Structures are given as structure tokens and as C-alpha cells.
Amino acid sequence: MAIRYELIKTCKQSGARLGRLHTPHGVIETPIFMPVGTQATVKAMTPEELKDMNAQIILSNTYHLYLRPGHKLIEKAGGLHKFMNWDRPILTDSGGFQVFSLGPLRKIREEGVEFRSHLDGSKHFISPEIAVEIQNSLGSDIMMAFDECAPYPADYDYVKNSLERTTRWAKRCKDAHKNTDQQALFGIIQGGMYKDLRKQSAEEIIGLDFPGYSVGGLSVGEPKDIMYDVLEYTTPLMPKDKPRYLMGVGSPDDLIEGVIRGIDMFDCVLPSRIGRNGTAMTSRGKVVIKNASHTESFEPLDTECGCYTCKNYSKAYLRHLFKANEILGLRLLTNHNLHFLLNLMEEVRQAIREDRLLDYRKDFFEKYGYNL
Ligand code: PRF
Ligand code: ZN
């Protein structure tokens, strides 16, 4: 077995889980946020900078690396860890979600998905077997099954067909995956916003016995209260002795609400993407750095933050960098936002240790507000 999940304790106040995930590239403390490095780089950050902010695991994408530079090239380079100079754990998403985001550029068949590259329009085909083969070449610690993420809204029959195909594909992924000692393959639960379909998917996927499970198909445009409700229904159906991953979720409020509902792992492009656009997440809500109100603010982005950016630079300077289109500005905001979310998860872990996560949530929202 490539990975082992150790449940250390559950928070007496909230039921949230504190754990450790042992992987071939080291131990991850959970709950954890995973910065996204779609193209074998967390945009604008070096691996040293990621380590300085205590990133324990990053996520990368099968679809993008298959198209460019090609998984065979990365295999030749000695695998994704070596290629990108990152020696801590890596999780790769299967490409399912990315291919389905292509809209009219793709065609779903039982065998797999035919699509055109977003780069040059060339024709490609990814099946469950091919998604596994690509991720085997990349050498990620955790691989994801090839699934279909139904859009929101979608009608009942569509979601039912789609989750049943996702189960058949999950089985094919499992059969195609051979080196289970070095790489763990996670199953993905779908079922849209329909509880009985979530139950069906959970039972089918868990029945296939994967070393970890994710909840897919959420945070696809539905209102937050629906997402929390579906999540709250789904996590109790999942085994307690395996890690649980909520895919594509990463706003501060969703991380806290997800952990309270029993989730251990999260990933999202949000902190890095909005950072490059000049928006910072802070303990007092979001800061849009180009706003005129920051022109003469010689304070850091967040007086409570210990990141490199906040220790060394003022909002006035960061605003200047963004107004002048200087590349350092987006590096500094990316660094701050990722540090902010990683630190938030460290605080969440500490609150679980001390059985006070509901108190922590209350304090957090009182300061932070609900503006992201
Ligand atoms: N499936 C996969 N990747 C994903 C998702 C999914 O449903 C989501 C949904 N939020 C994000 N990333 N394979
Ligand atoms: Zn900071």
C-alpha cells in the first residue's frame, strides 16, 4: 500500500478529524490545503518558497501535462517530482474534470472521452486506462480515478447515468493500476445535488475499495448552503479509516465548513489566481490591492500574517507594483495568499487538537466577514 491514513483524533466540539497521511514522499498532516500546480509549477512560486510557507503536498493535472510537455517526456526526466524539483508529495487529478470543462470540444462515450486540445485544436482521446497510464508515468503519490463531474444544474437522469458511468470507469481505473505500492489511486464520489444519487455513488465507489475517496461534483456553481448540505449528507457514508478529499474547494469559509463536515484534504486555484489578479485574502476579509484607499497605507496586507510579503512590504508598495504591472507584485500576493490558507489550516488543526473548532469558526467569521 502506497499510503496509510492515521486518524489521530476527532474534535469533541465539531467532529472534525485530525490525521496523518503517510505517503512515499513524506507525511502530510490533515486537514490540509493543497496548492495547485497545474502545469508542473505552482504559478510564480519556487519549490523553496512553497516549503518556506509549509506546503506539504501540491496538486498537478494529468490533462495539461499529457498535452504539454507530454507524460512520456516527464517519465524520461525521471518523473514529475524530479522534473519540477519538488520532493514532497504530489497528487494528480485525472483529467476528467478538465476534459469535461472543455464544453463543445469534447464527446463522451462509454470507452472514454474524445476531445480537442485547448492549445492547438488537435484531437485526443482519454479513457480510464489512459488516465491511469499517464499518472503512472508522472509518478504522483496520489492519483485520481477518471470520472465525470456533472454540471450544475443537471437533471436527475443525466446525473444518474453519469455517476453510473463514473463507477464503471472507476473499476476500469482500478484494474489498470498496477504499482499500488508506489502510487495510491483514490475513488471519486459523484451524484450531483441529489442525495439518493450521492448515496448510490458512495456505496458503489466505496464497494470498489480504494485507499482514499474524494467528493467530486461540488463547488460547480451551486449555492453554498446546497454544497454544505450535500457534503454533510455524504461524508458520514465514507469510511473513517481512509482520507477524504473535497475537490476544487478553497475559499477560507468553505475550508472551515468542509473540515467541520469531516473533510481532510482540499485543493483550489482560488488563492493563487486571485493573488495574481491583485486580491489578497486576509484575516479581516479580502483586500483589493489596487484600490485608491491603499495609496498611502504603509501597513502590511495583514498585520497578523507572518509571511515573507507581510514581514517586508507595505500595501502602498504592493499597490504600486500592481499599478506599474511589475511581476514582483503578483509573486508577493501569491505568496501571501497561499501562506494565509496554509496557516489557516494549521490553526484549524490546532483548534481540533484542543476540541474548539466551533469557537474558532465563530471568531474567524466575526473578523473575516463573509466576503469571499
Ligand atoms: N472531479 C475531478 N476533479 C475535480 C472535480 C471533480 O468532480 C471538481 C469539482 N469541484 C474539481 N476538480 N476529477
Ligand atoms: Zn502575509
Per-residue pLDDT of the chain (372 residues; tens, 9 = 90+): 999 999 999 999 999 999 999 999 999 999 999 999 999 999 999 999 999 999 999 999 999 999 999 999 999 999 999 999 999 999 999 998 998 888 888 999 999 999 999 999 999 999 999 999 999 999 999 999 999 999 999 999 999 999 999 999 999 999 999 999 999 999 999 999 999 999 999 999 999 999 999 999 999 999 999 999 999 999 999 999 999 999 999 999 999 999 999 999 999 999 999 999 999 999 999 999 999 999 999 999 999 999 999 999 999 999 999 999 999 999 999 999 999 999 999 999 999 999 999 999 999 999 998 654
Nearest ligand atom owner, CA of 303: 2
Specify the CATH number for the domain of residue 200. 3.20.20.105
- Please check whether residue 345 is in contact with residue 353, taking contact to mean a CB–CB distance below 8 angstroms: no
Q: What is the pLDDT of residue 103?
A: 82
Q: What separation in Å is there between the alpha carbon of 303 and the centre of ligand 2? A: 8
Q: What separation in Å is there between the alpha carbon of 313 and the centre of ligand 2? A: 9
* 100 lies in some domain: yes
* 156 lies in some domain: yes
Is the CB of residue 220 below 6 angstroms from any atom belonging to ligand 1? yes
Beta pairing class for 26-30 and 4-10: unpaired
* 336 lies in some domain: no
* 335 lies in some domain: no
Is the CB of residue 96 below 6 angstroms from any atom belonging to ligand 1? yes
Q: How many domains does the chain have?
A: 1
Give the C-alpha separation, 214 to 316, whole Å: 41
Enumerate the active-site residues.
Answer: 93, 267
Amino acid present at 77: A
Nearest ligand atom owner, CA of 305: 2
Give the C-alpha separation, 368 to 159, whole Å: 36
Give the residue ranges of the annotated binding site.
93-97, 147, 190, 217, 305, 307, 310, 336
Among protein residues, the one with the nearest Cα to ligand 1's atom 7 is: 216
Residue 319, phi then psi, degrees to nearest 5: -60, -45
Q: What is the pLDDT of residue 104?
A: 83
* Closest to 80 in 3D by CA, of 133, 28, 39: 39
Can you tell me which atom of ligand 1 is nearest the CA of 249?
10
* 136 lies in some domain: yes
* 299 lies in some domain: no
Is the CB of residue 192 below 6 angstroms from any atom belonging to ligand 1? no
Is the CB of residue 211 below 6 angstroms from any atom belonging to ligand 1? no
Q: In which domain, by residue range, is 175 found?
A: 4-268
233 burial type by CB count under 10 A (0-12 exposed, 13-18 middle, 19+ buried):
middle
* Closest to 300 in 3D by CA, of 287, 290, 308, 311: 311
Q: What is the pLDDT of residue 370?
A: 66
* Residue recorded with cell 520532493: 87
* 228 lies in some domain: yes
Please list, in sequence order, all residues whose beta carbon lies within 8 angstroms of the beta carbon of residue 11, skipping any fewer than 6 positions away: 17, 18, 351, 352, 355, 356, 357
- Is the Cα torsion angle 138, 208, 165, 174 positive or negative in sign? positive
Give the C-alpha separation, 150 to 192, whole Å: 6
* Closest to 349 in 3D by CA, of 13, 16, 3: 16
pTM for the model: 0.98
Report the residue among 93, 142, 222 best suited for mutation to probe ligand 1: largest number of ligand atoms under 8 A from its CB: 93
* 24 lies in some domain: yes
Is the CB of residue 188 below 6 angstroms from any atom belonging to ligand 1? yes
